């Protein structure tokens, strides 16, 4: 039988015909003629189809989310990464004196910085791409040269080089550089950053510092008033910052056309004070000199315009220089406060002018009435004596105050009476704040009438048992200088906006204390205090006299409390003087206080200090000399 197997197969089909295996399969077709697949192959196909379907569904869902719900969020996120909200700082307003001369102002400057590590790497990368580009070492030399050229001796070239070669991160090279100079440097070397800073300048140094105050900087670098005018008017001086928004490219440049929401800054107001800078400077020096020469613990002085009550000078010893920095001044022991308004004291005999005015106003005496004044007086259960021993002496009313007799003053106070005298204390502004635009003002202390007991009424008329500030003391004499009308003092004349519009500070209404006639009579009487001549007709403060000018004023010596015995000390005193220049045509009131000077030493009296200030004023202002005045009778013959 012939073998019909197809070569290479070795197999036959069911009919005996050989089975043909499709090329490349290695498997024979099944009976239906289809290629048979295994279970594992089907599973892989199914898995791939499913995976592909899932990927497509996820992609479609993500696409749908991006185009609908998430699109807004992504767009906002992208915008926020590009968007910059920039503050446009307002410039803090100036503080100027009555003539407009600057006492404090703000100077815009720049802090120059660099990132040495980053810029060194950038320089080397540029050098690799272009061998003609300077390397980092060359750049360091060029930058240091430019700083030295532009800023001169104000910088140390070696220090600049050291900072550039540090290889560190963000580094300040020089701070507080003038804007023009900073622009010149950054234009040549754009990699140097220029950060805006505001510098508060005080061209007069310590001039009026206790009034003007000082500033500090917030964490954001904003100037903030600490005390004085800087603090009291902080909001007005501060102004309002502006805002603007723009988009920033990856290289930190502004994308053109994206600037929007621009709100321009409003610079702060200028505050014009009533202070006279030249006078303030002179008074400050005079006060410090008097304090040093007398050994006093503290000293202060106030000069008022006799008619308006405006403060022309307000000085304290041991003041500070806000330009140096508060921290350094505190370490030095400087006084950052303003004792002329914050530290009350017992004024002593300088207050006797109230007793005189009350008695004259009520018609209870006249300047030439003669009184038999003993060396002491018993009153309210206590005995008060004069500062010198004497028997019954025929003092005129004028002489009682010219000689500063405690006994004679209390004799007149008894005529006035407790109730009226209490009312005069209030009319003259004692026991109440003046309302001056300065923080921390003390109201002083005046006992309520219902609380007067024991020797209260024996003390108050002679300036003991109550307290006042130097400013309040000046206010008493301003009322007499202004023909009996007390005008509460003020120290701010106006605020001027950045547009030049001025808003005058509201002028307080005057308070009629005594009649014009009484005020003129009292002014003339108190010329006796500075009168010199034979002993019986000389006053207690001839050192305050000024040749060619009528001076009306009063000396004061008040015992301080001895904490050891809670009684009045016989060794520690407040020494005061308040006076009117000139008495016949008042222009200024000058009030002075020395705290515990060493008695008997040069400068222990406040009267010579009055003379010093008054002499400077008449020369500076060319004040016309007074008409000749009659000699006053202090002691009858």
Q: Name the residues annotated as catalytic.
A: 349
C-alpha 116/C-alpha 415 separation (Å) is 86
What six digits make up the tokens of 330? 């505190």
Place of tokens 């804007």: 179
* Cα angle 557-369-346, degrees, rounded to a multiple of 5: 15
C-alpha 545/C-alpha 89 separation (Å) is 54
What six digits make up the tokens of 6? 């197809």
**Dihedral angle over CA of 289, 292, 293, 297, nearest 10:** 120
C-alpha 551/C-alpha 582 separation (Å) is 5
For 117-152, what is the HEC assignment?
Answer: HHHHHHHHHHHHHCCCCCCHHHHHHHHHHHHHHHHH
Which of 572, 568, 570, 573 minimizes the C-alpha distance to 555? 573
Antiparallel, parallel or unpaired: β 171-178 and 242-247: unpaired
Look at residue 36 and give its three-state secondary structure.
coil
Cβ proximity of 281 and 312 under 8 Å: no
Look at residue 270 and give its three-state secondary structure.
strand
Q: Which residues, 6+ apart, have CB-to-CB distance to 162 below 8 Å?
A: none
C-alpha 121/C-alpha 424 separation (Å) is 81
Determine which helix (DSSP H) or strand (DSSP E) holds 421, and give its type and residue range.
helix 418-427
What six digits make up the tokens of 511? 């308070």
C-alpha 191/C-alpha 193 separation (Å) is 6
Which of 223, 181, 182 minimizes the C-alpha distance to 202? 223
Cβ proximity of 159 and 152 under 8 Å: no
User: E strands along 407-465, which residues?
Assistant: none
Which of 614, 621, 519 minimizes the C-alpha distance to 307? 519
C-alpha 270/C-alpha 584 separation (Å) is 37
Antiparallel, parallel or unpaired: β 214-217 and 223-227: antiparallel
């Amino acid at each position: 039988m012939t073998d019909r197997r197809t070569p290479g197969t070795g197999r036959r089909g069911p009919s005996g015909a050989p089975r043909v295996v499709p090329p490349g399969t290695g498997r024979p077709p099944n009976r239906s003629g289809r290629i048979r697949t295994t279970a594992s192959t089907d599973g892989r196909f199914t898995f791939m189809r499913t995976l592909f379907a899932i990927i497509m569904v996820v992609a479609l869902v993500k696409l749908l989310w991006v185009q609908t719900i998430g699109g807004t969020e992504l767009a906002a996120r992208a915008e926020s990464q590009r968007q910059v909200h920039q503050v446009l700082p307002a410039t803090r307003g100036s503080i100027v004196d009555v003539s407009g001369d600057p006492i404090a102002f703000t100077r815009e400057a720049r802090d120059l910085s660099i990132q040495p590590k980053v810029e060194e790497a950038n320089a080397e990368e540029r050098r690799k791409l272009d061998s003609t580009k300077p390397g980092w070492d060359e750049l360091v030399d060029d930058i240091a040269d430019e700083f030295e050229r532009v800023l001169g001796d104000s910088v140390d070239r070696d220090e600049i080089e050291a900072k550039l070669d540090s290889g560190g991160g963000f580094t300040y090279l020089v701070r507080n550089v003038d804007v023009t100079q900073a622009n010149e440097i950054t234009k040549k070397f754009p990699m140097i950053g220029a950060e805006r800073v505001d510098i508060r300048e005080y061209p007069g140094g310590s001039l009026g510092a206790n009034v003007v105050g000082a500033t500090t900087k917030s964490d954001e670098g904003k100037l903030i008033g600490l005390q004085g005018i800087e603090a009291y008017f902080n909001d007005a001086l501060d102004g309002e910052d502006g805002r603007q928004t723009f988009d920033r490219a990856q290289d930190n440049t502004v994308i053109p056309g994206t600037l929007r929401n621009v709100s321009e800054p409003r610079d702060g107001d200028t505050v014009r004070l009533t202070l006279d800078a030249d006078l303030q400077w002179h008074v400050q020096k005079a006060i410090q000199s008097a304090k040093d020469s007398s050994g006093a613990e503290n000293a202060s002085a106030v000069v008022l315009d006799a008619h308006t009550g405006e403060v022309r000078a307000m000085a304290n010893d041991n003041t500070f220089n806000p330009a140096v920095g508060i921290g350094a001044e505190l370490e030095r022991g400087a006084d950052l406060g303003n004792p002329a308004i914050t530290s009350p004291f017992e004024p002593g005999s300088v207050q006797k002018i109230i007793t005189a005015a009350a008695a004259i106003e009520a018609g209870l005496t006249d300047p030439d009435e003669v009184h038999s004044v003993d060396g002491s007086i018993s009153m309210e259960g206590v005995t008060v004596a004069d500062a010198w021993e004497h028997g019954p002496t025929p003092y005129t009313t004028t002489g009682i105050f010219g000689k500063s007799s405690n006994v004679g003053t209390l004799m007149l106070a008894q005529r006035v009476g407790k109730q009226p005298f209490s009312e005069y204390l209030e009319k003259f502004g004692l026991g109440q704040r003046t309302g001056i635009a300065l923080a921390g003002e003390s109201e002083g202390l005046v006992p309520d009438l219902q609380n007067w007991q024991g020797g209260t009424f024996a003390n108050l008329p002679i300036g003991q048992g109550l307290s006042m500030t130097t400013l309040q003391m000046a206010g008493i004499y301003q009322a007499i200088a202004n023909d009996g009308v007390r005008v509460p003092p003020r120290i701010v004349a106006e605020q001027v906006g950045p547009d030049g519009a001025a808003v005058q500070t509201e002028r307080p209404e005057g308070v009629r204390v005594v009649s014009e006639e009484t005020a003129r009579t009292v002014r003339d009487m108190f010329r006796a205090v500075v009168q010199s001549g034979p002993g019986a007709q000389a006053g207690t403060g001839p050192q305050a006299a000024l040749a060619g000018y009528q001076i009306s004023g009063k000396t004061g010596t008040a015992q301080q409390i001895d904490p050891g015995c809670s009684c009045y000390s016989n060794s520690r005193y407040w020494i005061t003087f308040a006076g009117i220049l000139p008495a016949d045509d008042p222009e200024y009131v000058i009030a002075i206080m020395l705290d515990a000077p060493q008695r008997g030493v040069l400068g222990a009296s406040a009267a010579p200090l009055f003379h010093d200030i008054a002499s400077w004023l008449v020369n500076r202002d060319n004040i016309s000399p007074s008409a000749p005045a009659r000699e006053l009778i202090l002691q009858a013959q």
